[in-house]
């Protein structure tokens, strides 16, 4: 169960900000940042993990360096919006490894999806063999990002 933002104290917020900047920070470094003992710090971090404020720890990988430079934003409209149709689509889209993010939306399209690809040919493969074959898909519209302007990994925790 995730803790409400209003329930975080100054120490929690300090620890969360520190971990966002450096997920590999040692407990000693975190304790120093939060002006607390190492044992108290470890208890606090474990509580933040247990209550869902910290979902997981991960490395941020450079897309270009691993050969996936293309970011494509795709809107997907389904034939219907029943709970069963949404659940089926969400289960299937989660199995597409090139899908990095997927959001249920308001407005003219049902979903906004961010896909990564090697190049246009790879995007065509993903589009024709994966996205258009998902159950209930009526329309797929793609926009290719020309250049990334901002990419933040840190939430503006205050």
Q: Express each pLDDT in 115-147 by its tens digit.
A: 999 999 999 999 999 999 999 999 999 999 999
Characterize the bridge pairing of strands 111-117 and 70-78.
Answer: antiparallel
**Nearest residue to 111 via CA among 101, 123, 122:** 101
Number of domains in the chain: 2
Confidence of residue 6 (pLDDT cuts 50, 70, 90): low
Q: Tell me the residue range of the domain where 28 lies.
A: 5-50
CATH code for the domain in which residue 122 is found: 3.30.70.920
CATH assignment of the domain containing 31: 1.10.10.10
Domain check: are 84 and 36 in the same one? Answer: no
Residue 2 confidence (pLDDT):
61
Q: How confident is the model at residue 158 (pLDDT cuts 50, 70, 90)?
A: confident
Question: Is there a single domain that holds both residue 36 and residue 77?
Answer: no
The confidence score (pLDDT) of residue 5 equals 61
Low-confidence winner among 24-28, 41-45, 116-120, 154-158 (lowest mean pLDDT): 154-158
* Residue 45 pLDDT level (bands cut at 50, 70, 90): very high
- Nearest of 2, 12, 43, 25 to residue 158 by alpha carbon: 12
Check whether residue 45 and residue 90 sit in a common domain. Answer: no
Burial class, 4, CB count within 10 angstroms (exposed 0-12 / middle 13-18 / buried 19+): exposed
Query: In this predicted model, what pLDDT tens digit does every residue of 12-24 receive, in sequence order?
Result: 999 999 999 999 9
86 pLDDT band (50/70/90 cuts)?
very high
Beta strand segments in the chain, E: 70-78, 99-104, 111-117, 137-144
Determine, yes or no, domain membership for 154: no
Q: Are residues 98 and 137 in the same domain?
A: yes
Q: How far is residue 75's CA from residue 62's CA, in Å, rounded to a whole number?
A: 24
Same domain, yes or no: 88 and 31: no
**Does position 3 have pLDDT exceeding 70, yes or no?**
no
What is the Cα–Cα distance from 62 to 102, expressed in whole angstroms? 20
């Amino acid at each position: 169960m995730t803790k409400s933002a209003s329930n975080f104290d100054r120490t929690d917020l300090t620890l969360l900000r520190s971990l966002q900047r450096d997920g590999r920070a040692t407990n000693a470094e975190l304790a120093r940042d939060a002006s607390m003992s190492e044992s108290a710090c470890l208890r606090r971090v474990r509580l933040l993990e247990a209550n869902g404020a910290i979902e997981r720890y991960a490395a941020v990988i450079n897309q270009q360096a691993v050969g996936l430079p293309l970011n494509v934003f795709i809107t997907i409209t389904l034939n219907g919006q029943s709970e069963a149709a949404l659940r089926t689509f969400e289960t299937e889209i989660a199995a597409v490894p090139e899908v990095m993010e997927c959001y249920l939306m308001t407005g003219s399209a049902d979903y906004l999806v961010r896909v990564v690809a090697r190049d246009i040919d790879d995007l065509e493969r993903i589009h024709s063999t994966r996205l258009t074959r998902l159950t209930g898909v009526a329309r797929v519209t793609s926009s290719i990002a020309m250049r990334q302007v901002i990419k933040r990994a840190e939430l503006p925790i205050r």
